[in-house]
Structure formats: C-alpha cells, structure tokens
Structure 1
Amino acid sequence: MSATQGESPTEPAAVDLRPRWMSRERFIREVLAHQADAGLSDYLADLARETTDDLQWC
C-alpha cells in the first residue's frame, strides 16, 4: 500500500555504507600507502614545542 492510499510514509534513514572493520591487508594497501609527507611530522613537532603555558590568565 502506498502513502497515497492512506498509509503514512516511512521515515528516511541514513544507510552507512562504510565497512565497520578493515582487514590488515586492506589497511596496509589503502592507508599506509597514502601517508602524509614526512615534512608534516617535523612541522607538527615544532608547533608542539610552542605553548602558552607561561602566559598569565586574566
């Protein structure tokens, strides 16, 4: 029976098409093969040294 014949339509629901887990082989193939550049790690390490711990809070 369709919604036009007196029955209320169903609520739309999102469908999660992402896999809930990934095999080790797939992880290596898809994730480890596309890592960020090595310079980014060095840059982030330099940023982590810059803190505001010595500033006084008002």
Structure 2
Amino acid sequence: MTDLNSQYDCANASSDLPALIQQLQQLENGAHDESKQWQDQVNHLRNQIAFIRNKCDLTKES
C-alpha cells in the first residue's frame, strides 16, 4: 500500500482496511519488545486505519 493522502480513493477501503487491521493485530499479538521501532510501526498503522475510517466515513466496526 502506498502512503495515504487526501487523494485516497475510498473504493480501495474494502481491501486496504482489513489488510491494515490484520497487520496491526499481528504486530500487537506477536512477540515484541515494545521498542521505539515497534511503537512507530503500531502508531503508523493505527494512523492509517483512522485516516481511512475518517476520510471514507466508516464506523469503527468496519
């Protein structure tokens, strides 16, 4: 997935959002040391998920 921006096409949300959520869950559930790099990755994924939900007017359950 490319970086998200104001030109994001919400038609891609149905595939992008589940993929991002899966990546986040794998990071959160996997073995990790909660290093800065791990936290940065988690924050980046959370931000991308929030961006898509906000831009595409999706509820948290989506």
| TM-score, normalised relative to structure 2 | 0.27
Please identify which structure carries the higher helix content. 2
Structure number, greater radius of gyration = 1
